[in-house]
Amino acid sequence: MGASSATLQDRIRAAGVVGAGGAGFPTHVKAGARAEFVIANGAECEPLLHKDFELMVHAPERVVAGLRLLMQATGARQGILGVKAKNAGAIAALTAALDDDDVRIHTLGDFYPSGDEYILVYEATGRLIPPQGIPLDVGVVVNNVETLYNIAAAAEGRPVTGTWITVAGAVARPVTFVAPVGLSYREAIDLAGGATTRDCAVFVGGIMMGSLADDLDAPLTKTCAGLIVLPAVHELVRRVRQPEPAMHRIGRSACDQCSLCTELCPRYTLGYEVEPHRVMRSLSFTPKGGAMWNQFAALCCACGLCTLYACPEALYPKEACDRAKQDLKAQEIRWSGRREVEPHPMYEYRRTPLAQLIRRLGIAEYDRPAPFATVDIRPRRVVLPLQQNLGVPAEPVVAPGDRVAAGQPVAEIPAGALGARLHASIGGIVREADGRIVIESE
């Protein structure tokens, strides 16, 4: 625990730690910042996922240790653990692991998306991140609780070789466990007793912000929070599989500009200029003609609420925002919206309760606990994509035929680039080292 900031940053870098809660931002960069607050994001608002809850219950001292290390490294005066009030087990475990008052627990309501950084920072500190800004702009560093767990391990010289995941939905036994990075989705689902439906579809990373898997032999990465299995005929699967041109075509003709998507947008109610109903207007124009409306998508966090919850016509405003952001980027148009941020008077009353979202999504029958299990997983083969982080892909430092031990570095950050080191998650023989690393156990 007594690592100096430079040493901790080096150790985090050497251990290949990346943000476990989303895009995989390399954590050593955050450890080099100066901040007032470090927030542990334990909000876990994606329906059916429970891995952060289970991690806080089963390894609270590791989460707190990682938080304290990051506080030391960044010079932060206070650590805040953001946890939902309903997760009493996690709160009790974390409380027992706290021994000083420079770390406090901030309890959150059970709404979606309470884990969005802009919302979490506001809820926990009362500070509003400036439009297009990051938490550091208001003196805050935010890390997912699993990232903090990995920081604690990194300080002891242990690299990231596993990922906490929940496997839930239409499976025999919803479960949370630590999987070796590179394990296939198929093997992970088998560890939950297998799918209970013959034709299934798998959401990777969550229903709201994840994606549908097109290959069950694809590997789990450091940033994957879980797999949600649904029957292939489920309405959610049908909606997500809709080709993008069809989503926009139907939006063009059927959107009646009721603006419910905007009224329930969490970024809009927090005070940002995100207005998906206006973005829907851009669907009737060329990218140039729609540029004015596209601006209203720039601060969207892609939470999916407008598409999967708010729109009474089952249209696709979130996807219209995705497209709008791409168009703005392609045309190199800078955001020029309102910079002042003031929460909407209805902010507190327009939150979306998770239970209501789960009912609307038609997944209430799958809303079950996914208890942690210690599983002895010995995969015959793991596949390690070279890009599991924001920035550039790692460069292999092993070749086919090499024998590697679990925890050994197999790919490095290119010189001077933003990236993350990659380690073997099992011992064995390297079979591929081009585009990805494939290791087979002996």
What does the binding site for ligand SF4 look like in residue numbers (CB under 6 A)? 255-261, 265, 267, 274, 276-277, 280, 300-306, 310-311, 313, 315, 317-318, 321
Residue number, 85 or 314, with CB nearest to ligand SF4: 314
Residue number, 251 or 396, with CB nearest to ligand SF4: 251
CB of 347 to ligand SF4, least distance (A): 14
CB of 301 to ligand SF4, least distance (A): 5
Please give the Cα distance from 224 to 146 (Å, whole number): 11
CB of 261 to ligand SF4, least distance (A): 3
CB of 317 to ligand SF4, least distance (A): 4
Residue number, 11 or 277, with CB nearest to ligand SF4: 277
Residue number, 301 or 413, with CB nearest to ligand SF4: 301
CB of 257 to ligand SF4, least distance (A): 5
CB of 282 to ligand SF4, least distance (A): 12
CB of 112 to ligand SF4, least distance (A): 10
CB of 322 to ligand SF4, least distance (A): 8
Q: Report CA torsion sign: 141, 144, 147, 148.
A: positive
Residue number, 51 or 325, with CB nearest to ligand SF4: 325
Residue number, 349 or 376, with CB nearest to ligand SF4: 349
Residue number, 38 or 303, with CB nearest to ligand SF4: 303
Nearest to 165 by CA among 89, 90, 94, 223: 223
Residue number, 79 or 304, with CB nearest to ligand SF4: 304
CB of 248 to ligand SF4, least distance (A): 11
Residue number, 267 or 323, with CB nearest to ligand SF4: 267
CB of 242 to ligand SF4, least distance (A): 14
Residue number, 11 or 267, with CB nearest to ligand SF4: 267
SS (H, E, C) the chain: CCCCHHHHHHHHHHHCCECCCCCCCEHHHHHCCCCCEEEEEECCCCCCCCHHHHHHHHCHHHHHHHHHHHHHHHCCCEEEEEEECCCHHHHHHHHHHCCCCCEEEEEECCEECCCCHHHHHHHHHCCCCCCCCCHHHHCEEEEEHHHHHHHHHHHCCCCCCEEEEEEEECECCCEEEEEECCCEHHHHHHCCCCECCCCEEEEECCCCCCEECCCCCCECCCCCCEEEEEECCCHHHHHHHCCHHHHHHHHHHHCCCCCHHHHCCHHHHCCCCCCHHHHHHHHHCCCCCCHHHHHHHCCCCCCCHHHHHHCCCCCCHHHHHHHHHHHHHHCCCCCCCCCCCCCCCCHHHCCEEHHHHHHHHCCHHHCCCCCECCCCCCCCEEEEECCCCCCCCCEECCCCCCEECCCCEEEECCCCCCCCCEECCCCEEEEEECCEEEEECC
Whole-Å CA distances, 154 to 1, 147, 355, 427 = 11, 10, 36, 19
